[in-house]
Structure 1
Amino acid sequence: MLHVMPNRVEKLSLLSEMIAFAKSDTELKTIEYNFLLGVAKQLEISREDFDYLIEHPINSIHLKSHSERIVQFHRLVLLMHIDQERTQEEVAKLYNYGLRMGLNHESITRVLYLMEGFPDMMVPAEVLIDIFKVQYN
């Protein structure tokens, strides 16, 4: 499978979505900020651009690559658990986010269910990818 890295606009969009996801319950907590800053570095987004996005969100762009959508969903799963506070509202929001990205609802449900069995509810990336691969084939 050909894996194409997202372009700069797509990267900024991904980060903006994650910031919005983190901010929806309250203001951005320090632990969430640091996690998101780490994602920004991974995506080669400067701290200045990252800080700008916090105050000025941009419209989301639908990722074409199925694998990129899975990676983004995994980032959101990690983000949801970073502050150790998980509400039903957050889980529902994550579920709906996955659906909007075009991910399979059975796979999303399975990931959310399996989270309970992992330490700190962190689903390993390879497990998550396998779940989505099964549905994608």
Structure 2
Amino acid sequence: MQNDDKHALISDLINLAKADEKITSQEYDLIFRLANRMGVTKEKVKVLLQNPVPSKPIFSELERITHFHKLLSLMNVDGEVHEKEIIVLRNFGLKMGIRPGAIDQILIKMNDYEDKIIPTQELLNIFRAHYN
């Protein structure tokens, strides 16, 4: 994955974290951890926090599902889900080409779990049901 693509994905996370007009320490930590896994430096993340770059299209279905899962995890990491975050998450999903029914089912299903994190296999099953 090219650096520009990585920066766009991290910027998506930042924009979601900023949706409720504050970034919690848990959100910062998750953004930095995900960036580190992608090989993006802490210094670059700090730059992106001030100046996020625009989203880029994600072509692979697996990459779209993975990115949506990261966004969903970020939204839930601090235990506070705000309506603005849900709207931003839904819009990211639609922009990535995820079907509205899949997004809605995921948003409902996350409430079945204490930490609101849907297990990966269950998330994949939801996507399979909507794409087959």
Q: TM-score, normalised by structure 1?
A: 0.89
The one of 52, 64, 69 equivalent to 1:69 is 64
The one of 2, 5, 24 equivalent to 1:10 is 5
User: 1:92, 1:47 → 2: CA distance?
Assistant: 28
Shift of 1:23: 1.2
Are residue 29 (structure 1) and residue 24 (structure 2) matched? yes
The one of 39, 42, 45 equivalent to 1:47 is 42
Runs of 4+, deviation exceeding 6 Å: none
Name the stretch that deviates more: 65-74 or 20-29: 20-29
Unpaired stretches in structure 1, ≥5 consecutive residues:
1-5
Match of 1:107 in 2: 102
User: 1:42, 1:127 → 2: CA distance?
Assistant: 23
Identity of aligned residues (%): 32
**DSSP-derived class of the 1:120 partner:** coil
Aligned residues: 132
User: 2:30, 2:86 → 1: CA distance?
Assistant: 19
Shift of 1:108: 0.8
Shift of 1:120: 1.3
User: 2:106, 2:18 → 1: CA distance?
Assistant: 23
Unpaired stretches in structure 2, ≥5 consecutive residues:
none
Shift of 1:68: 0.5
Are residue 131 (structure 1) and residue 126 (structure 2) matched? yes
Cα RMSD for the two superposed structures: 1.3
Match of 2:79 in 1: 84
User: 2:82, 2:42 → 1: CA distance?
Assistant: 29
